[in-house]
Amino acid sequence: MSDTFSIAELAAEFGVTARAIRFYEDKDLLAPQRQGMNRIYTRRDRARLALILRGKRLGFRLSDIRDMLDLYDLGDGQVEQMQFTIDRSRDRIAELERQRQDVDQAIRELKDIVRAIERELVAKRAAEQAA
């Protein structure tokens, strides 16, 4: 594996666009080196991108992802980073559980609506055939 990567290589590897990577740069989540007009990404940048994409997939806000990544560099053996990540992960779990309850309730309501409409449709069809 190379020690440096181009934006095109990272985009292809992670299945994202170069525009998305530049967006993460604009949000101060990545800071590649520059060689003229070219961006040069290190293994550290590659690892940060992997963590950014994982955080997004899990539904974390970019500000939380930035905080998690920035805490890595504190020099405290990542204790603060781990505690912050635990706290934000617990918050996210609670949020997802609330969403799951909302989805389960919506499914129950929709099933009730479908059953009621099906009963009404059967009754209307029976009435039409009797007429």
**CA–CA distances in Å: residue 3 to residues 7, 11, 12, 38, 108:** 13, 16, 17, 16, 53
Q: Is residue 100 part of a domain?
A: no
Q: Is residue 126 part of a domain?
A: no
DSSP conformation letters of 41-95: EEHHHHHHHHHHHHHHHTT--HHHHHHHHHHGGGSSTTHHHHHHHHHHHHHHHHH
82-125 residue pLDDT tens: 899 999 999 999 999 999 999 999 999 999 999 999 999 999 99
Instruction: State which residues form the domain around 22.
Output: 1-57
27-72 residue pLDDT tens: 999 999 998 989 999 999 999 999 999 999 999 999 999 998 888 7
Q: Enter the pTM of the model.
A: 0.78
CATH number of 8's domain: 1.10.1660.10
